């Protein structure tokens, strides 16, 4: 048994649905969500820069919080830096966020799979490697969507349903025009627009993400390594910490309250 925290990381707010989903299933676990606000966004950065930033973030988290498991709730970090981070921190179990190419391939009748994410995630060879392994007979239609990432990061909380629909609709239309019948949300930010993607995609464009798979993988590691917590359920609110010297904008505190986190700014 181990009462140290499970730590989730992302460049911004995108991994919140992943952390919230995990917490809903594992209420005894102490949870910390770390957002590298000071270096957001990671999407336009080079692979080398993402490795440097993510590794630096994890070093700080290890020093301050001694996590028992790390969940990389960010596709850009996962596709670029996961292997390097596992080499750098061999004693820390690390769960990455893998774009859901495999389940999408299992449901695609047209064998044309859309993938929407950050520029870093879409351009990384890892997407092609996943496709070669799990969808060799499929055409992968990758589209970077930095404006949509920015919408989620800056405006999602204050937006209404119509504004969210308007933000997602052009992307649904683009993938349908290209003949896709499945769409992989390869950026964790887009999970906050999951219902809009699903309602607009309907039966023509089925939507896939990796949120449940990531949670199951983290849970299996906790069980296999005997790392389950002995704390009482909901003993502590999940902790949300952000980097950056400047005080966080008001929407960060609003997000924390909405998802039941307590916020600190000590990264």
Rounded Cα gap, residues 264 and 267, in angstroms = 8
Residue 187 known to be catalytic: yes
Catalytic residue among 113, 121, 187, 192: 187
Its sign, for the CA torsion 32, 47, 90, 217, is positive
166: left (phi over 0), alpha (psi -120 to 50) or beta: alpha
At 10, which helix (H) or strand (E)? strand 6-10
Dig out the tokens for 183 from the structure. 């769409």
Catalytic residue among 13, 58, 72, 74: 74
CA distances, 227 to each of 11, 18, 28, 93, 111 (Å)? 26, 20, 12, 11, 41
Query: Which positions ≥6 away from 72 have C-beta within 8 Å?
Result: 8, 9, 10, 54, 78, 81, 82, 85, 94, 95, 96, 97
Which DSSP state fits 12?
Answer: S
Dig out the tokens for 185 from the structure. 């949300």
Rounded Cα gap, residues 96 and 79, in angstroms = 8
Dig out the tokens for 245 from the structure. 């010297």
Residue 138 known to be catalytic: no
User: Vertex 44, ends 55 and 251: CA angle to 5°?
Assistant: 80
Catalytic sites, residue numbers:
74, 187
């Amino acid at each position: 048994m181990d009462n140290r925290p499970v730590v989730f990381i992302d460049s911004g707010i995108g991994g919140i649905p992943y952390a919230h989903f995990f917490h809903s299933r594992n209420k005894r676990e102490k949870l910390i969500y770390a957002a590298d606000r000071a270096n957001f966004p990671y999407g336009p950065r080079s692979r080398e820069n993402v490795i440097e930033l993510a590794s630096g973030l994890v070093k700080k988290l290890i020093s301050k919080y001694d996590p028992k498991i790390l969940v990389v709730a960010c596709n850009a970090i996962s596709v670029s830096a996961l292997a390097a981070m596992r080499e750098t921190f061999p004693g820390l179990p690390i769960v990455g966020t893998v774009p859901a190419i495999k389940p999408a391939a299992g449901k695609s009748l047209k064998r044309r799979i859309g993938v929407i994410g950050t520029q870093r995630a879409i351009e990384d060879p890892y997407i092609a490697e996943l496709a070669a392994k799990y969808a060799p007979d499929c055409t992968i239609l990758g589209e970077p969507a930095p404006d949509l990432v920015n919408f989620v990061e800056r405006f999602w909380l204050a937006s209404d349903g119509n504004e969210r629909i308007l933000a997602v609709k052009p992307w649904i239309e683009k993938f349908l025009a290209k003949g896709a019948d499945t769409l992989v949300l390869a950026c964790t930010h887009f999970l906050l627009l999951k219902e809009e993607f699903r309602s607009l995609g309907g039966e023509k464009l089925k939507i896939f993400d990796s949120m449940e798979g990531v949670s199951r993988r983290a849970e299996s590691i906790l069980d296999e390594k005997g790392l389950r917590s002995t704390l009482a359920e909901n003993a502590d609110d999940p902790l949300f910490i952000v980097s950056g010297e400047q005080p966080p904008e008001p929407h960060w505190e609003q997000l924390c309250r909405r998802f039941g986190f307590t916020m600190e700014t000590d990264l």
